[in-house]
Amino acid sequence: MAGPLTGLTIVELGGIGPAPFAAMMLADHGAEVIRVERAGMIGFAGDPLRRSRRSISLDLKQDAGREVVRRLAATADGLIEGYRPGVMERLGLGPEALIAANPRLVYGRVTGWGQDGPLAQSAGHDIDYLAITGLLHGIGPAERPVAPVNYLADYAGGGMMLAFGMVAALLAVQRGGAGQVIDAAMSDGAALVGGLTYGLRAAGQWCDQREANLLDGGSPTYAIYRCADGKFLALGAIEPQFRAALLDGLGLGMEAGREDIAAAIATRSRDEWETHFAGSDACVAPVLDLSEAPAHPHNRARGTFIDLDGVIQPGPAPRYSATPCDPPHAPGQEGADGDAILVGLGFSPQEIAELRAGGVLK
């Protein structure tokens, strides 16, 4: 793989959610990521979060399987895992042991609540981690908060923060620093995503009531409206000049309110409004569904979405001028690269056969 992370090797302990998302990002940008699969993991064919890496399937309940991970980590630049605190230590694969063997190793850990704190050992999901940040309270209509899909805590607060932390720590190692542990808590990361909201609240420009603020639908020109065909139009006209362009395009005066805007938008279809406002600074966009988004002209022009073996998915982001990334490749069969990975670690054909016969290598 080409890209700015070319030359780095990351070991990923197979899991779901933010850890594979972070591993996907690192692989997208050129790192060689070796995914250690564990039997019984939840997954599906063509999963975008498993693209662009080799995989080996091991039984980590057996010491021989754990020894393979130790040998992988001994020469790797980084390792990523997303298990509850203490799981890797009980396997003998915790950071103290692996960094002792490889002092330059960056050991990335992502959990819901972090490695310590009263909730560290508690179960949870994105909605729970988001709930304690204060941000979930502000998402949804005035009547009650709504579940915002698992984008904010799992992937923005967890996966992206872990990927950023890994790159930052790997850069420190390249500058002469030592390996270290990255403690990425989804609750911490999701809270950080809300930095602007907390800043506005401190400045007296944000209140805890939903649909009462500039960016949560409280403004009639920063909201979503139903069109004549039942589809929706997103308005983002905050600044006065954009608001003026919007209202002029709707045939309304500057004093128009929410009901006036809703009535005007309801007179045409979503696509008619998109055409009507094309080229203007009215900050208008169609609300596309998942089947429509890849076909949008802007997304097509930029190659925002890609097709890997029939699975339409977002491509790598961001883009680089000097070190462009290779296109991702679809995930292979779990464990398909096991033999080649072991050969690279110095295992003989007989040793590999013994691991397979013993059920260590799947």
User: Can you give the length of the chain in residues?
Assistant: 362
Mutual orientation of helices 63-75 and 349-357 as an angle, nearest 10°?
A: 140
**Contact (Cβ atoms closer than 8 angstroms) between residue 77 and residue 51:** no
In 3D, which of 75, 70, 67, 81 has the Cα closest to residue 8?
Answer: 75
Q: Tokens at residue 285, please?
A: 């966009």
Q: Tokens at residue 243, please?
A: 């608001």
For residue 253, count other CB atoms closer than 10 A to its CB: 9
- Helices then strands, each counted (H, E), the chain: 14, 11
Q: How far apart are alpha carbons 76 and 94 in whole angstroms?
A: 15
Q: Which of 28, 77, 126, 154 is catalytic?
A: 154
Mutual orientation of helices 186-193 and 161-174 as an angle, nearest 10°?
A: 100
Mark whether 116 is an active-site residue: no
Mutual orientation of helices 240-249 and 270-277 as an angle, nearest 10°?
A: 120
Residue 283: which residues within 8 A CB-CB, separation 6 or more? 235, 236, 237, 238, 242, 245, 246
Q: What region, left, alpha or beta, does residue 229 occupy, with left being phi > 0 and alpha being psi -120 to 50 degrees?
A: alpha
Q: Tokens at residue 226, please?
A: 């139903």
- List b or e across 67-99, with b for residues whose CB sees 16 or more CB atoms inside 10 angstroms: ebbebbbeebbbbbbbbebeebeebebbbeebb
Q: Which of 59, 125, 137, 281 is catalytic?
A: 125
Q: How far apart are alpha carbons 302 and 188 in whole angstroms?
A: 32
Mutual orientation of helices 161-174 and 18-28 as an angle, nearest 10°?
A: 50
**Contact (Cβ atoms closer than 8 angstroms) between residue 24 and residue 340:** no
Q: How far apart are alpha carbons 219 and 198 in whole angstroms?
A: 19
Mark whether 47 is an active-site residue: no
Active site residue ranges: 125, 154
